Each structure stands twice: as structure tokens, then as C-alpha cells.
A and B are shown apart, each in its own frame.
Chain A
Amino acid sequence: MKHKKLLFSAIAALTLVTGGIIYASDHIDAPTVTGQSTDITDLYVFQGANTSNLVLVGNTQGLLTPATTGAAKFDENTLIQFSIDNNNDNIEDLVIQCKYDAASNTMKVYGPVAPSEKGTRSKLEGNEIASVAVTAYGSSAVIGTASNGMSVFAGPRDDPFFFDLDQYHKVLDGTATGFKSTGTDAFAGTNVMSVVVEVPKAMLGGTGKLNVWLTTRKKV
């Protein structure tokens, strides 16, 4: 019995170790996106200061340091898309698309609009609804507004994610049995390239509940 228990623990530990390094929230989660403009870090969706609105935050390109943030850029060939399901079938009914334009250094926003293409392939849908100059590192936030009540922001921000990732690694590696009584935020002092869209709830449909997900898509 004791041996069986030991064996089970050994298998469990092995599974943990071979599970690979666990990085963070969605930061550098898979080889294809690591170090790319398409690497998502986190999605946040919450009620705005104006409670008639929802705020959607899409963060990418994590772990930027103060030394590397100034040179960080959005990518013309990357589409950042919020997908919104308003009838609980986990299929997008509306999309909000954010597409960087390098020539004007602006983020252009399309939607919320019912997409003609659903699933893993997208095209820009409908007309440009809002546009905002990308806020330069160290400058005050530039806020773009649209006649439909939307507000948009694009630029570097502090990574809002917090986690004692290093201690978690130690637990998985078997070099620690638990977290510390005071944790250390592995994301302290790091930045992300962020897109923030505030939108009237009335434009998103549904009957009180939405399902939202964030994707990045590369031009083909």
C-alpha cells in the first residue's frame, strides 16, 4: 500500500515536471506566438465607470521592461479581435476588431458588427468606427471617441496581471511544498501593449449574459 502510494506520487510528480514550464496567464503560452506581436497576455471585461458600458481590455506582448517598452510596437499584420457570443452557443455573434496602421501610427477599430467570417479566419468587417493615435511610452493616454459612444485606447500600459510565478514553478518542480506567506509578483515592473475599448452594453445584445474571448490573427 505504501509502495503503491509512493509510486502514485512519483507518477504525479513526473507528470508535473514533464508538463513543461508554465509561464503565466496567457503570456508566451505556445512556441508559435512566443516573442511575436500575436502573443496575448490577458483579457479583461468589466463594467465601466459609466455603468451602461462594458470595458474590454486586450493585452499582448508581455514582460516588456522599461528598457524595452519604448521600442515596442503594434504590428500592421496582426489583427486583435474581441469575439462576443450573445446567445450562449460559444459562437461569435459580434466582433470588435483592432487593426494597427503603421503609416498613421493609429489603431483602427471596427465593430461591434456581425462578422461575415466566423471561426479562425477573419477579415475586417464593416467600416472603421473609431481610430486613436497610439500613445507613446511616457506620454499621457490618448483617448479616441466615436459618435456611437465608444472610447478606444492603444499603447503600452503596466501589466495588470499579478502572480508569484517563480514560487509556483518551485512547487511544480518539487523544490517547494507551497507558496510563501508573502508572495513576490513576477510581473511587477513589467508592461504590455494594450488595447482598451469601452462600448455601450446596448450595442452587444443578449439577455444579460455574454461570452467573450480574445484572439490575435496574422495576415495571410
Chain B
Amino acid sequence: MKTTIKLLTLIISGSIFFAACKKDPKTPAATVYYQQQDQAARPAINTVFNVGADKETFNVTVPSAMAAAFQTKFQARLLALNPAYTTNALTQDAVTFTGLLATDVLNVSTTGKTTFFDGVPANTLSGRTLNDDVIDVELLLIFGGPLGTSNPSLTSDHVDANDKVFLTAFPYEATPF
């Protein structure tokens, strides 16, 4: 009887010990993970160049794997949009142009001017400012041909600026409507 009590005490204290272990505040909490749902870098890439289920796949593909997975699809889409495409104003043929776009990262200069395109070749794809007319740039590269003069009705949407003036200081974006 006495032995049984001793054994029972031992078991109970053992349980308490383990329970106390579990509640030890030094035990790290389980790591919280976040799973990617949407991705964007250059403007309007997924919306213009992907179709159907690829829109979802593209959003969860890492940039280093994008070209292999999407370049040929982007090329088909480019030639559907503009069957007469040869090269663009950046002298890129369809393979080169869609190879660039399929890896959806925004190229950014840390040494000077940052713009999507401002007419100066050296500044091309060096960032994106709030007032860059990125749609006109993309329309020009898709439809404008090697000189930027083809399909003139398709190379600008003639919306050339935002509807509110941006700020010159942080946070730069205009106040909401």
C-alpha cells in the first residue's frame, strides 16, 4: 500500500514536471508563416500577358523561375496582340522583349535617375516614378514597331498624367479622394 502511494506520487510529480515543462515561457512559439498570393513589379504584366489559370500561377512563381515558365506564352500573347511585331523601339525582337518581361522584376538604379522610360536610352528601366506614363511606354513597345511610329492609334491612351498632383516630399503620393 505504502509502495503504491509512493509510486503514485512519483507518477503525479512526474506529470507535473512534464506539464511544467510544456508551460515553460522560454519555449518558442510555433513560427508563423505567410504564403505568397500576389506578385507585381513592372506594371500590367500579369494582366496583359497571362491568360486564364496562368494568372494565378504567375502570382506564385518566384522571379528566377518565371522566364522558363512563361517566356514562350508571353511571346504568343505578344504576337496575338500585334501579329506584325518584328522589333520594338528598344531594338528587341519578340524573344528578347518577352524574355525581359517574363521575369517580372522592377530594375532600379541606385546611382541616379529612376524612371521607367523618359526618352533617354541610358535611363530606360531604371525604376518607376509615380508620374511615369508606363502604359504609353508599354503600348509603344508592343505596337509601335522598331521606330515607335507603327499603329499610331494604339501607342498612346492619351491619358498622360494622374488626376492629382503628387507631393515633392514623403509620402509623395497624393491625398485620397
Q: Are A25 and B43 in contact, with the CB atoms below 8 A? A: yes
Size bracket, chain B contacts: 35 or more
Q: Are B130 and A44 in contact, with the CB atoms below 8 A? A: yes
Interface check B17, CB cutoff 8 A? no
CA distance A26 to B46 in the complex (A): 7
* Chain B hits for A32, CB < 8 A: 37-38, 56, 59
CA distance A44 to B116 in the complex (A): 10
Binary flags per residue of A63-104, CB closer than 8 Å to B gives 1, else 0: 011100100000000110100010001110000000000000
Q: Are A120 and B36 in contact, with the CB atoms below 8 A? A: yes
Stretch of B3-11, B89-97, B99-107 on the interface side: B99-107
* Chain B hits for A114, CB < 8 A: none
Interface check A129, CB cutoff 8 A? no
Interface check B26, CB cutoff 8 A? no
Question: In the complex, what residue of chain B is closest to A166 when comparing beta carbons?
Answer: B157
Interface check B1, CB cutoff 8 A? no
* Chain B hits for A42, CB < 8 A: 40, 43
Closest Cβ of chain B: how far from A217's Cβ, in Å? 3
Per the 8 Å Cβ criterion, residues 89-131 of B in contact with A are 103-115, 127-131
CA distance A201 to B170 in the complex (A): 16
Interface check A121, CB cutoff 8 A? yes
Interface check A29, CB cutoff 8 A? yes
Per the 8 Å Cβ criterion, residues 113-133 of A in contact with B are 117, 119-124
Interface check A174, CB cutoff 8 A? no
Q: Are A33 and B37 in contact, with the CB atoms below 8 A? A: yes
Per the 8 Å Cβ criterion, residues 31-61 of B in contact with A are 31-41, 43-48, 51-52, 55-56, 58-60
Q: Are A90 and B41 in contact, with the CB atoms below 8 A? A: no
Interface check A189, CB cutoff 8 A? yes
Q: Are A89 and B64 in contact, with the CB atoms below 8 A? A: yes
Q: List 30 A-B contacts (CB under 8 A).
A: A26-B45, A26-B46, A41-B40, A45-B106, A47-B112, A47-B114, A54-B108, A89-B64, A91-B64, A120-B60, A120-B62, A137-B176, A151-B170, A151-B171, A156-B176, A157-B174, A158-B176, A161-B162, A162-B133, A183-B157, A194-B173, A201-B110, A208-B109, A209-B110, A211-B106, A212-B41, A214-B39, A214-B40, A216-B37, A218-B35
Known contacts A54-B114, A137-B176, A162-B161; 16 additional CB pairs below 8 A are A20-B51, A24-B47, A26-B40, A38-B37, A38-B38, A44-B130, A66-B176, A123-B33, A161-B162, A183-B157, A185-B162, A201-B110, A215-B38, A215-B39, A217-B37, A219-B34
> Which residues of A pack against B, CB within 8 Å?
8, 12, 15-16, 18-20, 22-27, 29-33, 36, 38-49, 54-55, 57, 64-66, 69, 78-79, 81, 85, 89-91, 117, 119-124, 137, 141, 143, 151, 153, 156-158, 160-164, 167-168, 171, 177-185, 187-191, 194, 196, 198, 201, 204, 206, 208-220
